[in-house]
Amino acid sequence: MSSRSPDDVFYLTTPIYYINGPPHLGHAYTTIVADTMARYRRLAGDDVFFLTGTDEHGDKIAQAAAKAGEAPLALADRNSKAFRDQWAALGITYDDFIRTTEPRHARLVQAILKNLFERDQIYFGKYGGQYCFGCERFYTEKEIVDGKCPDHQTPVIYIEEENYFFRMSAYQDWLRGYLEDHPDVVQPERFRNELLGFLREPLQDLSISRPKSRLQWGIPLPFDDRFVTYVWFDALLNYVSALGEPGSDLVRRYWPHVRHLIGKDILKPHGIYWPCMLKAAGLLRDEASGGVSLPGFARLRVHGFWTLGGGKISKSVGNVVEALALTRKYGNDAFRYFVLREMPFGQDASFSEEALVDRLNADLANDLGNLVSRATTMLVNFGPQAAGATPAPELPDQEIRDRAAETSSAVAQAMDEFAFQRALVEIWSFIGGLNRYIDASQPWTLAKDPGKRARLATVLVTLADALRYLGIVLEPFLPEAAARIRATIEDTRRPALANAVMGRTDELGRVRRLSGLFPRVDVKAAPAGSPPGGAPSEGPTARITIDEFKRLDLRVAEIVAAEVVPKSKKLLKLTVRLGEEPRTLVAGIAEHYRPEALVGRKVVVVANLEPATLMGVTSNGMVLAGSAGEALALVALDRDLPSGAKVR
C-alpha cells in the first residue's frame, strides 16, 4: 500500500451529537463514514482510536427538557442511550463514547478554563450582539441574512450581557498563516477557503460563559460559579477529555494523529474556535502530548449535507428520522453502501428511497450478489471435477490478479482522501471484470470436457481467490456481506489488507453455495409503506445464463396413481411415468386437488432434482405449479405430447 500516509496511528472523531432529538440520517451518515474509515485503517493494520459521543449541555437541551417536563439529565440519559442503541444496531465499531455530562469531561474542561484564566487568556467583559438560540452563538452583521440566522431561518435576537471572553482575536494572524501554509489541514479545499474567508474579517473574542440567571445546564466556571461554560467551548474539548488528561498515555499516543470528521454546518467552531483554543491552551505544543511532535493543528475532514430528494417511492421518506429507519427495511449494508456511494465526500447529495433501491438492485443484487452466487455455485458443482488438476494461469487469470493489486492501491489512495465514492467505484470495476471473466471462461463448458480439467481448475482457483480478496476488501464498506463471503469459503482468519493479495495459493478450499446475498427488491412489489423487512422473501431474482437454465431437466410426465400421504394435510404421493420410467414424487397440492382427479393427467416435472424425503416418502423430482396467494394451478400442456418429452 505504497500510497498510504505513513501514519500507523489513527485517531478519528465524529461530532458529538445534540441529544434534544433522536438520531437521524445526518448523524448516521457521519458516523457510518467514520466507521468505514476506522475499519479500513484497522484492516490496514493501524492502531486506531475511533471516538463518538453526545453533546448534552446548553440551551437547546435545557429547552427540550423543559418542554418535555423532565430534568435535563433524565432527557440526556434517555436520548444518549438512543444514540448508543442506534450505533449498536448499525454495527458501529467505536472505541469510546463520550458524554459531556461525565465527570472525566467536566474535569478537563474546568482544568483548561482555569489554566486559560490564570494565564489571562480569559477576561471578564460586556458584550451585546445578535444571538441565535438555535446555534447558541452570536452572529456578526455580515453573517445575518434578512435579520435571520442563515442556518435556522429564525430571527436573531439582540442580547447584551456580562460574560467571560476568550482572547480569540489574538490568534487571527497565526491561524490565517497556518491555514495558508498547510493545505492539508482542512479538506476538501473549498472549506479551507471558507475559513480563510472568515479570517479576512476581524476575529472577535469569544464569549465562553453563560450567566446562570439565563441558563443553569452546563459546566460551572471554576473561577466564578455565577456562570456556566458556553456549550461549544465545553463540547469541543471532548476530543481531548475522552483520551484523558494532557500527558496521559492515550493523549500521548493518539492526540498527535487526530482527524475530526464533521459536517459543513459546524465548520466555524471547528476551524476557528478550536485551533485558537488549542493554541492558547498549549495543546498544540509538544509538551501537551508528552514530547510527541504534534501536527500543529487538528485536521478537519468536512462533508456536505443530505437533502431529501423527490422520486416516486421516496414519498414515504418525509424526514431524516424516517430516512434512517430504512436501514431496517433494506439492511445495514445496503444503507451504508448507498450513502457512501451516492455522496461525493464534501458535496451535498439528495437522499431518496428510490435511489437507494436502484443502487441495491444494480450494484448489490446484480453485480456483487450475482457474482458471489455464480462463483460459489460453480465452485460447488465443478470443484470435484477439477480436484487434483494443477492450475496453470494464463493471461485472463493473470489479468484478474493484476486488477486486484491495482484496485487495492486505488482504494488506498481514495481512502487517504476520504473519497469513499471513488473507493467503491474501483471495487465495483473489479467486480464487473470478474463477471466478464466468468462469461468469457465458461466453466460450465470446460466442465463437460475431461481434457480441460487443468483449465477448469485454474478458473475455479482464480474465482475462489477473488472471493477471498473481496471478503477482505469489502469489510469496511459492507461488513455483514463481507463476513458472509469469508464464511462461505471458510476463510476464518481475521481480515487484513496484508492478505488481500491474489495468487498466493493454488488450492481449492471448501466452499458453500451463497445465493441471495442481496435479494433484489421488486419496486412494484415493495412500494412505499410496505412493512420493515419488506424485501421479498422469495429470494433473489438474479439473472441466470441460458447454460444455467439448460441444467434443469424438465419433462412431461403422466400421473398414473395418486394418494394422500398419511398424517399430512398438504402432501400427495404421485406415481408418474417419464416415458417408460416410473417415478415417485411428493407434491404439496393436497389442498387444491383430489387424488382421484389427477390420475391420467399430464404435468411438467423437474426430473433431475436431488431426491428428498418428505413425511417418510422419498420424492424423485418436482411437479411444476403456479401460485398466487391462495390459488394454485398445475402447469399443463395445451396440446398432447408423449410422456418423457423434454420441456425447455
Among 17, 233, 444, 469, binds ligand MSP (CB under 6 A): 17
Report yes or no: 511 and 387 within 8 Å, Cβ to Cβ: no
| Torsion angle (degrees, nearest 10) of CA 595, 597, 601, 607 | -20
Q: What's the half-sphere exposure (Cβ side, CA atoms, 13 Å) at 177? A: 5
Cα gap 347→339, rounded to integer Å: 12
* Contact region with ligand MSP (CB under 6 A), list: 22-30, 68-76, 490-498, 554-562: 22-30
Among 10, 11, 29, 94, binds ligand MSP (CB under 6 A): 29
Q: Which residue is nearest to ligand MSP (CB)?
A: 26
Report yes or no: 510 and 466 within 8 Å, Cβ to Cβ: no
Active site residue 569: no
Report yes or no: 369 and 540 within 8 Å, Cβ to Cβ: yes
> Is residue 30 near ligand MSP by the rule CB under 6 A?
yes
Active site residue 57: no
Name the minimum Å distance from CB 340 to ligand MSP: 13
**Cβ neighbours of residue 543 closer than 8 Å, sequence gap 6 or more:** 366, 370
Name the minimum Å distance from CB 269 to ligand MSP: 7
- Residue 388, phi-psi category: left (phi > 0), alpha (psi -120 to 50), beta (remainder): left
Tell me which residue has cell 454546518.
Answer: 265
| Strand-pair partners of 576 | 559, 583
Cα gap 26→304, rounded to integer Å: 10
Cα gap 352→288, rounded to integer Å: 46
| Torsion angle (degrees, nearest 10) of CA 425, 426, 430, 432 | 20
CB atoms within 10 A of CB 580: 7
Grid cell of 514 as nine digits: 451463497
Catalytic hit among 81, 312, 448, 646: 312
Measured from the CB atom, is 156 or 235 closer to ligand MSP? 235
The interface with ligand MSP within residues 232-261 (CB under 6 A) comprises 235-236, 238
**510-549 burial by CB neighbour count: b if 16+ within 10 A, else e?**
ebeebbbbbbbbeeeebeeeeeeeebeeeebebeeeeeee
Measured from the CB atom, is 304 or 383 closer to ligand MSP? 304
Cα gap 337→23, rounded to integer Å: 19
Measured from the CB atom, is 347 or 618 closer to ligand MSP? 347
Cα gap 563→277, rounded to integer Å: 85
Measured from the CB atom, is 60 or 403 closer to ligand MSP? 60
The interface with ligand MSP within residues 39-98 (CB under 6 A) comprises 55
* Contact region with ligand MSP (CB under 6 A), list: 117-125, 262-270, 512-520, 548-556: 262-270
Active site residue 646: no
Measured from the CB atom, is 237 or 284 closer to ligand MSP? 237
**Cβ neighbours of residue 445 closer than 8 Å, sequence gap 6 or more:** 547
Among 10, 11, 12, 26, binds ligand MSP (CB under 6 A): 26
Active site residue 27: yes
Name the minimum Å distance from CB 414 to ligand MSP: 20
Measured from the CB atom, is 186 or 554 closer to ligand MSP? 186
Name the minimum Å distance from CB 33 to ligand MSP: 9
> Is residue 265 near ligand MSP by the rule CB under 6 A?
yes
Measured from the CB atom, is 16 or 598 closer to ligand MSP? 16
Active site residue 276: no
Catalytic hit among 57, 60, 105, 132: 132
Name the minimum Å distance from CB 37 to ligand MSP: 14
Cα gap 373→377, rounded to integer Å: 6
The separation between CA 451 and the C-alpha centre of its own chain, rounded to angstroms, equals 46
Cα gap 15→53, rounded to integer Å: 8
Name the minimum Å distance from CB 275 to ligand MSP: 13
Measured from the CB atom, is 234 or 397 closer to ligand MSP? 234
> Is residue 420 near ligand MSP by the rule CB under 6 A?
no
Measured from the CB atom, is 409 or 421 closer to ligand MSP? 421
Among 305, 409, 503, 516, binds ligand MSP (CB under 6 A): 305
- Identify the helix (H) or strand (E) that includes residue 583: strand 581-587
* Total of chain residues touching ligand MSP, rule CB under 6 A: 19
Among 44, 106, 175, 266, binds ligand MSP (CB under 6 A): 266
Per-residue binder mask for ligand MSP (CB under 6 A), 320-359, x = binder? x---------------------------------------
Catalytic hit among 57, 105, 149, 452: 149
Name the minimum Å distance from CB 54 to ligand MSP: 8
Cα gap 308→353, rounded to integer Å: 9
> Is residue 263 near ligand MSP by the rule CB under 6 A?
yes
Which parts of this chain interact with ligand MSP (CB under 6 A)?
15-18, 26-27, 29-30, 55, 235-236, 238, 262-263, 265-266, 305-306, 320
Residues classed as catalytic: 24, 27, 132, 135, 149, 152, 312, 315
